[in-house]
Structure 1
């Protein structure tokens, strides 16, 4: 009798220990993900090496500063604007709290990226083991397009967080209790309209790409699902409604029409766009998601197989809807568009990366020959990169050179270890150790290059000019005749900028400085003779 009673107790204890071990493993994984995202944030902490990069980043930062300075959070623009104001809210809040700086404008992307990566990891846990989910998460963080977006001012990473929240709420609500189901579907609906508030009509493409998942989850005929979705949509649309009402009050129908007309110009759908855009986006996807395709190419034929329990034919359909149909629909829709901007690929990157979790990290039959060969190739490339840095060290600051040089050397050591231990060592390293070394080598290199300002820091001269002008010109500064990019970036960095469209209306007694282009120097000095310009800056 005691033996009969002890067996269920032993089984219960084993299950409890297994559950506790899995929970501890997940906590360790979350800590590692958090640490890597924190290191990305640390890469912003060298102000002399950092500057706003793309033209878009300067635009988002400048417009967010306008919102923060003006205090008008609903309709701050003097003319009809082509984006909903939610594109700038997060940056404006950060600037309001932390002041005007590069890292403050980029902080919302870091926070949103951290949230998006956690949602990605928890979504992956539904289909894969924790170790596979960790590998997919690390691959995502190490991808150049994702790493760059983490440290770029703009709404892209916030949109990714909202998309991953939608995916997580949809998939996890399926097996939840009735009360939890309602809250998660409510959250899904709220995230849908918040995406529109953050990214305007561009957020509709990811939503359309999610339709196969909604169909597979059998939500389409569920009245309860639609009731809570509509409730969430209404709840999440509150800031969007106030924004649109305020814009309509200031600009009338033209304010609303500008949103639609901008989207319609972007969505120039025709066959020629498909043939010209598809190669552009595909090549950028391969390059900017490296090393995803190194992991995926050997396993294309096995995508129909699963490495989790056999109960889940339905789970396989969910997974294929997420990892195959979503990227496919999104890619086709994007390729029909008239524009070619690689950052538009970002919404499909996490769900494409989910395929990496399909790798068999346990079976002894998994040889990982391609990954091992790539580790050897990357060792050679990292060593060549270190040599190139050494011979160009005079062009770099000492701190930047040493940081990048040692990071590249460390990366080469990791790749050599992964290659040697898989090919020559008697005691071969595990597939996870191979993949981890490969990914961390890329992560450390990108971190060092970005932190030192060698990549993704293209406007350091403008930032240095703004710093000099701010210290010399307390009364403010005029900007005249500058290229739009220079004008945008300087408008963010300068304390009190004012853009001049002509020199005719300038008051003789102003006391401000003036920044202009070198080609206009003679005209500016001639026209402003007798004006009290405290200093001139020409570039």
Structure 2
């Protein structure tokens, strides 16, 4: 008995040691979410495959400046980054995604450091753990797109601006780093970097009397140095394409600002963000209300002003897509940590937090405390969890193979939500007083983690085109595409960009089937094959396409 007790004490000491090392604990929390897969990977069309295939074009051609037939409409930062990882680790889906994964981990650590300064260590750790459990953030942390690398640079700039105030001794270093990060952001995300820069203006202008950032020449020097790689690329591109290099960059941003893509209206982010980051935006709204009632000293215009201004910018911007809002997600997590912690105080003491409200004041938050909102949330989500468990169990027992995969996710989510009422009932009905607010808060975190981990293990966060992947991996098909060019007459753009990445020899477009040389291979629509005048043999079929060989 003594040995068993000693063993568990040893385990507890190890756990407490990990807790005392926030960087390590956050890394261990996030790493499985980044790595869990079904054992297979395939790129998402359209954006991810575009970035990966363009980087491959640079890598294969050896031309990292002007590999395009005409001037390109985006700055080359993400292509250079992905192509560099091709050079280090070879061409693969994983290599293409590594830059975003690494940027995500460093972004999490920056959120922790920013949160630690603004809110304290406990809330900073909680905010970082919450960010890891936001679906859209995790999804784009595993995609070969420039969104997360750009957000890393924005967070680095914000962190550097704060450090400039805290450490006047190293004022020049932090000022330069802040400007450099924002300047380098232009290379990564083109004109999109100006949206977060504009969102920083309330802090830069209204707090100027304190920090003097806007009159700091080192900040502007860093910004100009950060622009140097973009300037060199533009100059070399101009030598090759002429004025078209500048025109394409400007035309693209004007097009984005005036194009209503997918008919997403001004209220798009009002419903899309709560859906893609559930349940954290609701805690974030509570945290926003709390911080407006009791502003955070010195940094209110970063914690609250930045996301509010950015949200308005994104809503006004005509092109509204889910991933454009990703820069809001770290701030949703920071505000959600405030809201969840406040609810945790009610859970544990039944009294609202003195950090944000004055005692005895009558308002809606006092009403929440009086009505014991944590209890209601525990029972409500617990009931929802019971429903999910029952429904998913029935589907897994009687449903088809495809729907079973999604039922497994709902089962994991349902089991997670049951933690909340179990913890509540155990504490308040069975006198398990050791179940403090930390356990109740952990219930929320574990549920989101478990759900996302299940999605990852089923391949839903890594294997986006399994049918095409399986087709291309067939031995007969693989031997052909590795040694012969593939022609196509007309295929949809998403399939085209996927083939641009996966085919060793770049596919070639022709105007008609008659232009394809004899004994060559072509990808055609299945419904076109009866109309072909030339003889051919079918090699394989995938989705709505056939791979054929044109015979003499």
TM-score (norm 2): 0.82
**Residues 1:25 and 1:242: Cα distance change in structure 2 (over 3 Å):** same
The C-alpha deviation readout for 1:289-333, integer Å capped at 9, x for no partner, is 212234245555432455xxxxxx7x5241x21232212211111
Which of residues 206, 217, 221 is equivalent to 2:196? 206
Query: What is the alpha-carbon distance in structure 1 between the residues aligned to residue 315 and residue 105 of structure 2?
Result: 29
2:180 is the alignment partner of 1:173: no
Aligned to 1:64: 55
| 1:498, distance to aligned residue in structure 2 (A) | 1.4
More displaced 10-residue stretch of structure 1: 444-453 or 352-361: 352-361
Counterpart residue number, 2:484: 475
1:519 is displaced (CA, Å) by 1.8
Q: Tell me if structure 2 keeps the 8 A contact 1:462–1:490.
A: no
1:117-151: CA deviation from partner (whole Å, max 9, x where unpaired) = 10011000002221111111111110111111111
The answer to whether residue 266 in structure 2 is matched with residue 278 in structure 1 is yes
Give the number of equivalent residue pairs. Answer: 497
Kindly indicate whether the alpha-carbon contact (under 8 Å) linking 1:165 and 1:191 is maintained by their aligned counterparts in 2.
Answer: yes
- 1:26 deviates by 7.1
Equivalent of 1:245, from 217, 221, 235? 235
Q: SS where residue 266 of structure 1 aligns?
A: helix
Of 489, 498, 517, 2:525 maps to 517
- Name the counterpart of 1:494: 503
Please list, as runs of the form range in 1=range in 2, the aligned pairs for 1:318-337 lying within 5 A after superposition: 318=299, 320-337=300-317
- Quick one: distance in 1 between partners of 2:20 and 2:69? 49
2:113 corresponds to which of 117, 122, 126: 122
Residue 297 of structure 2, aligned match among 310, 313, 316 = 316
Following superposition, which runs of at least 4 residues in structure 1 exceed 6 angstroms of deviation?
23-26, 400-403
Q: Which secondary structure state, in structure 2, belongs to the residue aligned with residue 267 of structure 1?
A: helix
Superposition deviation, residue 216 in structure 1: 4.5
Match of 2:185, SS? helix
- Stretch of structure 1 that moved more, 142-151 or 426-435: 426-435
Q: Which of 237, 241, 244 is 1:254 aligned to?
A: 244
CA distance in structure 2 between the aligned counterparts of 1:256 and 1:74, rounded to whole angstroms = 14
Contact 1:100 1:493 (8 Å CA) reproduced: no
Contact 2:130 2:337 in 1 (8 A): no
- Paired residues for 1:69-218 under 5 Å: 69-178=60-169, 180-218=170-208
Provide closer, same or farther for how the CA distance between residues 26 and 413 of structure 1 changes in structure 2, counting only shifts above 3 A: closer
Range with greater deviation from structure 2 (111-120 or 36-45) = 36-45
Q: Are 2:400 and 1:420 aligned? A: no
* Whole-angstrom CA distance in 2 between matches of 1:392 and 1:210: 53
* Structure 1 CA distance for aligned equivalents of residues 200 and 213 of structure 2: 19
Give the alignment's TM-score, normalised by structure 1: 0.83
Picking from 444, 449, 453, the partner of 1:447 is 453
Instruction: Tell me, yes or no, if the aligned pair for 1:479 and 1:487 is still in contact at 8 Å.
Output: no
CA distances 1:42-75 after superposition (whole Å, capped 9, x unpaired): 224711xx32224111111111111121122222
Structure 2 residues without counterparts, runs of 5 or longer: 1-15, 353-371, 547-552
CA offset at residue 450 of structure 1?
2.8
Report whether the alignment pairs 1:434 with 2:440: yes
Match of 2:22 in 1: 29
Point out where structure 1 has 5 or more consecutive residues left out of the alignment.
Answer: 1-22, 307-312
Aligned-partner Cα distance in 2 for 1:445–1:389? 17
Q: Give the Cα–Cα distance (whole angstroms) in 2 for the partners of residues 137 and 354 of structure 1.
A: 8
8 Å CA contact 1:449, 1:455 repeated in 2: yes
Determine if contact 2:396/2:408 at 8 Å carries over to the other structure: no
Paired residues of 1:404 and 1:445 also in contact (CA < 8 A): yes
8 Å contact kept, 2:146–2:189? yes
Which secondary structure does the structure 2 equivalent of 1:278 belong to?
Answer: coil
Shift of 1:236: 1.2
Residues in 1 aligned to 2:264 and 2:498: alpha-carbon distance in whole angstroms:
32
CA contact (8 A) 2:33 2:456 kept: no
The CA deviation string for residues 435-485 of structure 1, in whole angstroms up to 9 with x for no partner, is 222111111111211331246644211122222322344223223321111
